[in-house]
Amino acid sequence: MSSAPLNRLGIVGAGTMGVGIAETALLHGLSATVVDSSATMLGQAEGRIRASLAKAVERGDCTHREMACAEGRLTVSTDLDSLIGCGAVIEAISERLEAKRQLFQRLAAICPAPALLATNTSSLRVSTVASGATDPGRIVGMHFFNPVARMALVEIVPGADSAQESVDRARELGEALGKRVIVALDGIGFLVNRCARPFAGEALRLVQERIATVEQVDRICRMGGGFRMGPFELVDLIGLDVNLEISESFWFQSYGEPRWRPSPLQARLVDAGRLGRKTGVGFYNYDDESHRPRDPEPPALGGGDGRLVAIGGGGVVAGALRDLVSRAGFGLCDWQDAAAGSAWLAVDAEPLAPSEPMEGMHPPVRTHLCASSALASIRDPKASGFHLIGPLDEVRLVEMTTLASTDPEAVTRTTAFFAALGFHVETVGDAPGLVLGRIVAQLVNEAAFAIGEGVGTPEDIDIGTTLGLNYPRGPVAWAEGAGLAHVRSILSGLHASRGEERYRLAPGLLHAESLRS
Ligand code: NAD
């Protein structure tokens, strides 16, 4: 099939997404005809598109001449008939099912086959939008991300009746718009939004359980996980009401999947009108700049002063710590020496099960990796707990936890140890995986469920979450970097301690070596 007709793109809906798609099309040499039922919206959209083309010139992304040509390829109209001759039309009107269905009925007549008809819906199933259409084979989901011009991804979502020819055409169009294309199953949240659910969902649970504060969770995600924004900053930006609506839609559409249970904490804030940035207050207060205190500068590596430490465990974290220990100037001793009392600090970094408490003449001061269980269940009442999840290359923060019975010396030495390794230490409540481990484990678990259900390939899941959500790495790569055993340990610990199906392991995670297999 010729690709030529795709050069004439129609867009219905001149809101946030329609404007972004039109701007992207123009910058990639396509013509764009934008239709909206509201002349006011169209006027504003035209102004926004022209302003952003001018900015592209300022940034050096195009020349004045190219901008003039791009402007010449833009048409705006309130009349759907102006779409006659378009090779593809992307619907980006408000998220109302009946309005979308009626629109596709009209589009089928205005733009006959082989024109592609695409919907940018984010929460309706493509099959539902296409059902009852004259020609459902031509309707495909093309889910763009906001802001469209900057987000390099589009999810192609075939509906139950979409023809393969239409899917191929949608891919061709996505690539012509300069996007990386992934293909997602027509299920709840498609691929990207589904795989993103645990980021905010687990963060809300952590705050609800008072494991950490909003500010701590965000800081831990930024400094410990490499996320550009913490989950609460992000929800404030999206809007708590919008995010709650998405959560409720997941919950209702899945008939009550426990992983997607909406948060009562969030509902309470929405009821109180605390909707995020748009109302000036959400999880943070936006009256001034204090809503995002500067992240602390982590200490410099060094200062071990030859003190002896023992690192127990065989996983990624133990390996990385052993490497850092010598670079920080500590001496390494083995576990038996530590049991005999020669270590300044014994670090149990085994993610699978904590080692037995050391009985010896001089039981050493200890800290445990809280992966398989919380510190409280480790049977070492004087120890402190910590959590790190690999890979540790960019990690600048370690989480620490204590019990009322923890030896103050364990706190002092653990803090000094991690500071010498170059980590900022954040003290949080006690639970398997602490904060970041729990969020990452649930991101990996959701990805494993999604792969098992055919929502997307492991490769597309990582592409989707990095390009669509700006995650530092995708869940599949994270599972590889952390080791699946570590992830399983956290989930099993949470499942056992919380007794909730929310933390059940995805079948594909049970025995696998990698999510790619
Ligand atoms: P918006 O509210 O900013 O714009 C919607 C536009 O559609 C308005 O200009 C409205 O006048 C127009 N409109 C409504 N009904 C119409 C009709 N029958 N015919 C012609 N025009 C009509 O909405 P948006 O945020 O741009 O979202 C549009 C679509 O994209 C929705 O389906 C949404 O779920 C999806 N989406 C949004 C985002 C996002 O971040 N905003 C991201 C991905 C997908």
C-alpha pair distances (Å), 446 with each of 291, 388, 395: 30, 20, 23
Q: What's the pLDDT score for residue 445?
A: 98
Distance 242 CA to ligand 1 centre (A): 14
Question: Of 149, 156, 146, which Cα lies nearest the Cα of 88?
Answer: 156
For the chain, the farthest-separated pair of C-alpha atoms sits apart, in whole angstroms, at: 88
What phi and psi values does residue 386 have, to the nearest 5 degrees? -145, 165
Side-by-side strand order, sheet with 116-119? 74-77, 31-35, 8-12, 88-91, 116-119, 139-144, 153-158, 180-183
Interval 245-300: pLDDT, tens: 999 999 999 999 999 999 999 999 999 999 999 999 999 999 877 678 899 999 99
Alpha-helical (H) ranges within 212-333 are 214-219, 231-238, 240-253, 264-271, 316-327
Residue of 77, 82, 83, 93 to mutate, ligand 1, most atoms within 8 A of C-beta: 93
Counting from 1 in the atom list of ligand 1, the atom nearest the Cα of 100 is 18
Both tokens of 382, joined, read: 């004087």
Q: Give the burial string for 372-406 (b: 16+ CB within 10 Å, else e).
A: bbbbbebebeebbbbbbbbbbeebbbbbbbbbeeb
**Could you give the CA distance from residue 185 to residue 84 in angstroms, rounded to a whole number?**
30
- Which protein residue's CA is at the shortest distance from atom 19 of ligand 1? 37
Q: What secondary structure does DSSP assign to 285-318, as a single string?
A: B-SSGGGSPPPPPPPPS---TT-EEEEE-SSHHH
Measured from the Cα of 19, ligand 1's closest atom is 26
Distance 16 CA to ligand 1 centre (A): 7
Q: What is the predicted pLDDT for the residue at 3?
A: 40
pLDDT the model gives residue 359: 56
* Whether residue 44 has its Cβ less than 6 Å from ligand 1: no
Delineate the domains of the chain, giving CATH numbers in brackets.
8-183 (3.40.50.720), 199-271+435-517 (1.10.1040.50), 308-422 (no CATH)
Q: Give pTM, 2 decimals.
A: 0.94
DSSP 3-state assignment of 407? Answer: coil
Calculate how far, in angstroms, residue 273's C-alpha sits from the geometric centre of ligand 1: 24
The dihedral sign for the CA sequence 507, 510, 515, 517: negative
Q: Which residue has the tokens 């102006």?
A: 82
Q: How many CB atoms lie within 10 A of CB 456?
A: 25
Question: Ligand 1 centre and the CA of 19: distance in Å?
Answer: 10
- CA end-to-end span of the chain, whole Å? 35
Nearest to 184 by CA among 263, 262, 126: 126
14 lines ligand 1 (CB under 6 A): yes
Verify whether ligand 1 is closer than 6 Å to residue 41 (CB atom).
yes
Radius of gyration of the chain from its Cα atoms, rounded to whole angstroms: 26
Token pair of 13 as six digits? 């809906």
Phi, psi of 98, deg, nearest 5: -60, -40
Mutate to test the pocket of ligand 1, among 94, 125, 129, 243 (most ligand atoms within 8 A of CB): 94
249 pocket-lining for ligand 1 (C-beta < 6 Å): no
Ligand 1 atom closest to residue 121's alpha carbon, by position in its atom list = 32
Which of 11, 17, 97 maximizes ligand 1 atoms within 8 Å of its Cβ, making it the mutation to test the pocket? 17
Q: 10 Å Cβ neighbour count for 326?
A: 11
Q: Which two tokens stand for residue 225?
A: 């996980």
DSSP per residue, 87-118: SEEEE---S-HHHHHHHHHHHHHHS-TT-EEE
Question: What separation in Å is there between the alpha carbon of 13 and the centre of ligand 1?
Answer: 6
Q: 263 by DSSP, 3-state: which?
A: coil
- Our answer on whether the CB atom of 401 is closer than 6 Å to any ligand 1 atom is no
Q: What pLDDT is attached to residue 517?
A: 76
Alpha-carbon distance values, 402 to 239, 457, 491, 497 (Å): 35, 40, 21, 18
Three-class secondary structure of residue 439 per DSSP: helix
* DSSP, residue by residue, 344-399: SEEEE--SSSPPPPPPSSSPPPEEEE-SSS-GGGSS-TT-EEEE--S--TT--EEE
* Residue 231 Cα to ligand 1 middle (Å): 25
Q: How many angstroms is it from 173 CA to the middle of ligand 1?
A: 20
Ligand 1: distance of its center to the CA of 15 in Å? 5
Check residue 132 and give its pLDDT. Answer: 87
Per DSSP, the three-state class of 32 is strand
Number of Cβ atoms within 10 Å of the Cβ of 476: 24
pLDDT number for residue 358: 57
* Neighbour-count burial of 264, counting CB atoms closer than 10 A to its CB (0-12 exposed, 13-18 middle, 19+ buried): exposed
Classify the phi-psi angles of 392: left when phi > 0, otherwise alpha if psi is within -120 to 50, otherwise beta.
alpha
Ligand 1 centroid to Cα of residue 119, in Å, is 10
Q: Report d(CA 466, CA 171) in Å as an integer.
A: 19
Beta carbon of 103 within 6 Å of any ligand 1 atom: yes
Give pLDDT, residue 356: 65
CA–centroid distance, residue 142 to ligand 1 (Å): 13
In the prediction, which pLDDT does 357 show? 61
Q: What's the Cα-to-Cα distance from 314 to each of 351, 363, 483, rounded to whole Å?
A: 8, 22, 11
d(CA 387, CA 371): 7
Query: 361 CA to middle of ligand 1, Å?
Result: 71
Nearest CA to ligand 1 atom 21: 36
Low-confidence residues in the chain, pLDDT < 50: 1-4, 361
Please work out whether the CB of residue 290 comes within 6 Å of at least one atom of ligand 1: no
| The pLDDT value given to residue 2 | 42
Query: 40 CB less than 6 Å from ligand 1?
Result: no
Atom number, ligand 1, closest to the C-alpha of residue 99: 18
Amino acid at 205: R
CB-ligand 1 contact for 36 (6 Å cutoff) = yes
Ligand 1 pocket residue status of 94, Cβ below 6 Å: yes
Q: How far is the CA of 103 from the centre of ligand 1 (A)?
A: 13
- Cβ of 13 closer than 6 Å to ligand 1, yes or no, is yes
**Burial (CB count within 10 angstroms: exposed 0-12, middle 13-18, buried 19+), residue 37:** middle
